[in-house]
Structure 1
Amino acid sequence: MTSLDLKFVILFLFPVVTGSLGNVSLLCRFIFLYFSGCQSRVTDVILRHLTVANSLYILSRGIPETMAALGMEDFLNNIGCKLVFYLQAVGRGVSFSTTCLLSVFQAITISPRSSRWAELKVKALKCIGPCPAICWVLHMLLNIRVPMHVSDKRNNKNITNTIDFQYCSAMNSAKVENSIFAALSLSHNILCLKLMIWSSGSMVFILYRHKQQTQHIHRHISSRSSAETRASQSILLLVCTFVSVYALSSIMYVWFTLYDKTAWWLVKTSALTNACFPVASPFILMTREQIVCRPLWRK
């Protein structure tokens, strides 16, 4: 193993270990609070799905990349390659959608209690349960084509139109007839980005107005208001992190389409860039927001 390979082992092993521990710790925390008889917030359901999606992506992308950096390039067969890349695509897509849902529902939760917003809050509370499940089904169907373009390196004879991931190979999507799926994915991404920008802007405006209205009060702010403010701030930071990582990933995708034969450093850099958000999100939520136990019998 060369020194360069050792560096990549460390680079991939660090996000796999830290990201897995962070997401599992956050998920266990939510489960513990649930079985302890604590009152859950409306966004906790989405956070649990986000944590599972992030863990799925980290494990399905980070472990194969780490093993490939260790020199084990042919450890997956054809079915294994298809399954790993399918799990990566579904996990990343669900993470995208649930982050959007999280920001939208939080904006609705802290919105003013006017008649219009009150009616919207009631409808949102009814939809919050099935929405994450719909995201999973949507991305499982949307990414059904991914296994068709992935194979192990032993079965792939066309080396001029593929991306080499060391452990598997994938056909370059820019040269595949997939305009319908590309249009669906692009429409979904643009819609989610617009919703995240709208909800983030709404939260900033609502929090600013709340701060202006409570400046004359001498630290007599209710604990509920403080908790909602902390939750909104953490979600805003989460959305900003996601948008930044998504912008970098989009640049990487453009580079993929420009290269006839993708450079190995571009593949590795893209993998590390895409892993940034799943690794960072649980620590943002745990450090910026105090997840406390509120008994169900208290109001």
Structure 2
Amino acid sequence: SAHLLLFISPQVLTTCLFSSTKMNKNRLSSFIDIRNAFFSEVAIGILANTILLLFHAHNFLLEHRPKSTDLTIGHLALIHIVMLLTVAFMATDTFGSQKTWDDIQCKLVVHLYSSMRGLSICATCLLSVLRAITLSPRNSRLAKFKPHSSHHNLYCTLFLWVFNMFISGYFLVSTVATPSVTSAHLLHVTESCSLCPVIHFLRYVHFVLRTFQDVCLLGLMALSSGYMVTLLYRHKRQTQHLQSTKLSPKAPPEERATQTILLLMSFFVVMYFLDITVSWFSRKLWDIDSVHMCVQMLVGNGYASISPLVLISAEKRIIKVLKYIW
């Protein structure tokens, strides 16, 4: 039985349904050190994302002129909080729980986790695009896309939630409670939940939609990041040219904020492809060593746990408050 398929990236997860793999379920609970590292990662991620969410929610609701990215960063932090809480709930069942889940619990938990993973890449891409638009000069074509109201971001956020909930609806059909079904074709997600074979059409539709979404979003991130790098390069040359004058192009905080977003995009891409790589090797080596599944759990949720630390490090106000508290 293949363990923890939901920790695999969405498109790899669907691919796993076409293969039959086995692993010793009892061995997973013996990796105490990796289990503790996983829960430590989740705890740090939830704390960091909560701090980030509160800070940007305060800016968006109470500041006179909130930044265009406040809502998006707050939304990304909320997604990661829900995602980490869900995966921690799943891990308690994976690492050995006395209480078994029923069909409804399995369907809801698996569906929610898959939706949050999809929303994570959507919000990350949206953050990159918004930053590129904000940084663009007034005479550029992108300037007309600058949001004049927070309602535009809210509508976009609502659409992303509906779309990802719809795609992840596949798991409402395919997820079952393991004790209620007996079949050699089940693919285990946790001790209590499994994925059962469903109509091939639904399987392919889910795979195509997830792959199409990820390819498009990764492409947008690459384009927006390349555009920001170009603008930063031009800005640096312009700054050097104007050093002898009193003119000042853009404020240094703008440049630092852009560099932070670029760092976040780079980190996301690295973790995304590392997750796919580890997932692929896990599927190939499940019969040999189940420790790869534990490593996959750590890698699969690394971005959700570390990304808020990257964003917090760029916010001097948050750092000052944390230093004051501690």
Smaller-chain TM-score bracket: 0.7 to 0.9
Match of 1:106 in 2: 131
Contact 1:256-1:262 within 8 A present in 2 as well:
no
Residue 277 in structure 1 maps to residue 303 in structure 2: yes
Q: CA distance change for structure 1 residues 46 and 17 in 2, over 3 Å: closer, same or farther? A: same
Q: How does 1:155-194 map to 2 (within 5 A)?
A: 155-171=180-196, 178-194=203-219
- Give the whole-Å Cα distance in 1 for the aligned partners of 2:69 and 2:304: 18
Q: CA distance change for structure 1 residues 187 and 47 in 2, over 3 Å: closer, same or farther? A: same
CA deviation string 1:156-199 (max 9, x = no partner): 312444135334222479x8851112111111110000000000
| Counterpart residue identity of residue 163, structure 1 | H
- Give the whole-Å Cα distance in 1 for the aligned partners of 2:146 and 2:114: 32
- Give the whole-Å Cα distance in 1 for the aligned partners of 2:202 and 2:281: 19
Helix, strand or coil at the partner of 1:169: strand
Deviation at 1:272, TM superposition (A): 1.5
Residue 137 in structure 1 maps to residue 162 in structure 2: yes
- Give the whole-Å Cα distance in 2 for the aligned partners of 1:10 and 1:260: 21
Helix, strand or coil at the partner of 1:165: coil
Match of 1:250 in 2: 276
> Out of 267, 275, 278, which is 2:293 matched to?
267
| Counterpart residue identity of residue 52, structure 2 | L
Match of 1:64 in 2: 90
Residue 288 in structure 1 maps to residue 314 in structure 2: yes
Helix, strand or coil at the partner of 1:151: strand
- Give the whole-Å Cα distance in 2 for the aligned partners of 1:6 and 1:224: 51
Residue 88 in structure 1 maps to residue 113 in structure 2: yes
Deviates more, 1:31-40 or 1:259-268: 259-268
Q: CA distance change for structure 1 residues 248 and 176 in 2, over 3 Å: closer, same or farther? A: farther
CA RMSD in angstroms comes to 3.2
Match of 1:52 in 2: 78
Match of 2:144 in 1: 119
- Give the whole-Å Cα distance in 2 for the aligned partners of 1:221 and 1:168: 63
| Counterpart residue identity of residue 29, structure 1 | F
- Give the whole-Å Cα distance in 1 for the aligned partners of 2:132 and 2:217: 14
- Give the whole-Å Cα distance in 1 for the aligned partners of 2:264 and 2:80: 13
Contact 2:271-2:302 within 8 A present in 1 as well:
yes
Helix, strand or coil at the partner of 2:180: coil
- Give the whole-Å Cα distance in 2 for the aligned partners of 1:122 and 1:270: 38
| Counterpart residue identity of residue 18, structure 1 | I
Match of 2:322 in 1: none
Q: CA distance change for structure 1 residues 267 and 260 in 2, over 3 Å: closer, same or farther? A: closer
- Give the whole-Å Cα distance in 1 for the aligned partners of 2:247 and 2:111: 47
Match of 2:68 in 1: 42
Helix, strand or coil at the partner of 1:61: helix
| Counterpart residue identity of residue 24, structure 1 | T
- Give the whole-Å Cα distance in 2 for the aligned partners of 1:221 and 1:237: 28
Identity fraction in percent: 28
Contact 2:239-2:248 within 8 A present in 1 as well:
no
- Give the whole-Å Cα distance in 2 for the aligned partners of 1:104 and 1:129: 15
Contact 1:103-1:239 within 8 A present in 2 as well:
yes
> Out of 23, 34, 56, which is 2:49 matched to?
23
| Counterpart residue identity of residue 49, structure 2 | N
- Give the whole-Å Cα distance in 2 for the aligned partners of 1:188 and 1:93: 9
Deviation at 1:123, TM superposition (A): 7.7
Match of 1:232 in 2: 258
- Give the whole-Å Cα distance in 2 for the aligned partners of 1:158 and 1:218: 76
Contact 1:233-1:288 within 8 A present in 2 as well:
no
Contact 1:105-1:124 within 8 A present in 2 as well:
no
CA deviation string 1:255-280 (max 9, x = no partner): 46657979643433322211100001
Residue 128 in structure 1 maps to residue 153 in structure 2: yes
Residue 151 in structure 1 maps to residue 176 in structure 2: yes
CA deviation string 1:17-39 (max 9, x = no partner): 10110011111112233454342
TM-score calculated relative to the size of structure 1: 0.85
Residue 12 in structure 1 maps to residue 33 in structure 2: no
The total of aligned residue pairs comes to 291
- Give the whole-Å Cα distance in 2 for the aligned partners of 1:239 and 1:284: 11
Deviates more, 1:267-276 or 1:231-240: 267-276
TM-score calculated relative to the size of structure 2: 0.78
Deviates more, 1:143-152 or 1:92-101: 143-152
